[in-house]
Amino acid sequence: MEKPGLLKDTITTAQADYKHTQFASQVHNYMQTVQPQPTSNTSAHSSANASHQIATELEKLFELKQKGVLSEEEYQKAKAKLLG
């Protein structure tokens, strides 16, 4: 093997991307199950917007954890705070 470091980095990156994709999918599925049923068109829009913002924040937190900026404990606390 001529470049084992490159192969290792490629595999590590692919694993991180896979974990991120799985987490984003889990967040999306969770947000769909916890969304209250809207009573009007306006509340549907604001509910969807709030859910999108939470999902975006969760993705940012996950990326920070993956980069080593947040520890697992800090990540779990922030995630719990976002999800209420």
Instruction: Pull the structure tokens for residue 65.
Output: 């954890």
Q: With a threshold of 0.85, does the pTM exceed it?
A: no
Alpha carbon 6 to its chain's center: 27
Contact 70, 78 (CB under 8 A): yes
What string of DSSP letters covers 30-59?
Answer: HHHHHPPPPSSHHHHHHHHHHHHHHHHHHH
Q: Where are the domains of the chain?
A: 44-84
Nearest residue to 22 via CA among 78, 66, 52, 53: 66
pLDDT average per 10 residues of sequence, the chain (84 residues):
81 86 76 59 66 86 86 87 83
